[in-house]
Amino acid sequence: MSAIPTSPNFRFTLLRVFSLFIVLIFPALILYLVIGLGLDAPFWDQWDLVPLIEKFESGTLSLGDLWAQHNEHRPLVPRAIMLLLAKATGWNTRAEMVLGFVMACILLGFMALWLRNTAKDIDPVELYLMLPVISAFVFSFNQWENWFWGWQIQIHLCVLASIVSISLLSANPMSRFHFRLSVIAAIVATYSFSIGLLTWPLGMLMIGTSGQKEGKRRAALIWIAFAAVTCITYFIDFKGAPHHAQAYALFSDPLAFLHFLLVGLGAPVCGFDIRIAPWAGLWGILAFCLVAFLNWRLTRSFSESRQSIKLVVCWGLFGILSTAAIAAGRAGMGVEFALGSRYIIFSSFLWISIAILLLHLSATGRISPVNLGRLKRTMIALIMALMIAMTLYGWDDSLQAFREQWFRISSARAILMQADPPQEALEVLYADPEVVRERLKVLAQYRYSVFRPGFKPQTPQQLP
């Protein structure tokens, strides 16, 4: 009997296959749930798209309608996408869910490829150990609202565009194509979700600390010009959302702001446990600062390594600053909002950056002149496995919250085609039942959503 191959190449191939298998488990699970359990029904903010559908069908839709403010956001690009999807599918909201999933897949693929091409000091074996961690955070079921509510493609698009924009500015050398694409992505991020505004200062940080001397000043001036124009147009006729708590909690109640921030940062690794979350957030910030500092000190003579480290640090800063921005606008509504599933993707980038920076530290010759070999990789594998396990914490709570909402929406949707739907059912779908009644007439006129040909409502008993 022939012996089982044990060569380094064989072991690496085996590790790569196993790593990719783990990477694909998380998106495969989300796709299975979205296709099988995604509810085809307008819910809450989605009813605000109906007036735009009416204008779109009547030929009176203008750029101003797409640019109009929604809460603190100007979701111009997501609105345009949702209108096109509604036209193509008769407003099957599952199409929006699938598109959000596709955007998350693109984000994961982009980050993996960009790291492979820029973080050249990381051992390929260790890089494959890290990819499942990124997948676990990006496709965490704890952000279930983003998976099962088509309106949330604005968050998927904002995160994707922001990360792409910041990353393209780390290219060495940075070509005109990279720069132009980065500017476009920053504009898309801004006009998807308000957090996209952070792309401009983070992009400026990447440009300002770039080691590329030729064209650096010109790139900075162009970036500032586009940032100014985009932000000015964003804040023209800008008004605070009257039904939300007042913003600027940072100044009115600093302790509530800080508590909200720490809870939000800890949410990706502690589920919905409000007792553990602030401590996890605090340790996350401390760990991020420590590993970023050590990486910076230990790569002083490695300009290429520093460039990739700066990018990962910017990813972490994106997670911290975006959560801080959410805290500034939502802390007055209660710390429970910090655990909102829709916001978890933002703070996840703090933990993703910590994992990647730990791998940088473990690179041969950075921590110790002695190559720890198999022991070092075992420790890295254990740390990565622990981080994946932390992302799984709270999935049972997320599943319970999803089940409750699924039954409520499914039951309410079943009676939408009735001549006079009861008010209690309409209140499940939108705050103002009379608005739903009026907009149902529009959907019926143009045969959208539950009125499109071939629509088959699911019954509450069909959820396993």
pLDDT, averaged in runs of 10, over the chain (464 residues): 55 76 92 90 93 95 93 94 95 95 96 78 70 93 93 96 94 84 97 96 90 80 96 89 56 84 93 89 95 79 65 94 91 84 94 89 51 62 82 86 88 80 87 91 92 73 50
Which pLDDT belongs to residue 305?
Answer: 58
Which pLDDT belongs to residue 6?
Answer: 55
**Within a domain: 7:** no
- At residue 123, the 3 state secondary structure works out as coil
**Within a domain: 29:** yes
Q: How far is CA 448 from the centre of its chain?
A: 29
**Within a domain: 210:** yes
Residue 70 forms beta bridges with which residues?
A: 73
**Within a domain: 194:** yes
What's the pTM? 0.91
Domain of residue 58, residue span:
19-403
DSSP conformation letters of 373-397: THHHHHHHHHHHHHHHHHHHTTHHH
**Within a domain: 304:** yes
Which pLDDT belongs to residue 272?
Answer: 83
Q: 123-132 burial, b for 16+ CB within 10 Å, e for fewer?
A: eebbbbbbbb
- At residue 405, the 3 state secondary structure works out as helix
Q: What is the C-alpha to C-alpha distance for residues 295 and 205, in angstroms, rounded to an integer?
A: 18
- At residue 73, the 3 state secondary structure works out as strand
Residue whose structure tokens are 């990018």: 311
**Within a domain: 60:** yes
State both tokens at 89.
Answer: 């599918």
**Within a domain: 444:** no
Q: What is the C-alpha to C-alpha distance for residues 57 and 239, in angstroms, rounded to an integer?
A: 28
What is the Rg, in whole angstroms, of the alpha carbon atoms belonging to the chain?
A: 23
Which pLDDT belongs to residue 374?
Answer: 62
**Within a domain: 11:** no
Which pLDDT belongs to residue 166?
Answer: 95
Q: Calculate the CA dihedral of residues 207, 328, 158, 104 and round it to 10 degrees.
A: 110
Q: Domain total for the chain?
A: 1
What is the length of the chain? 464
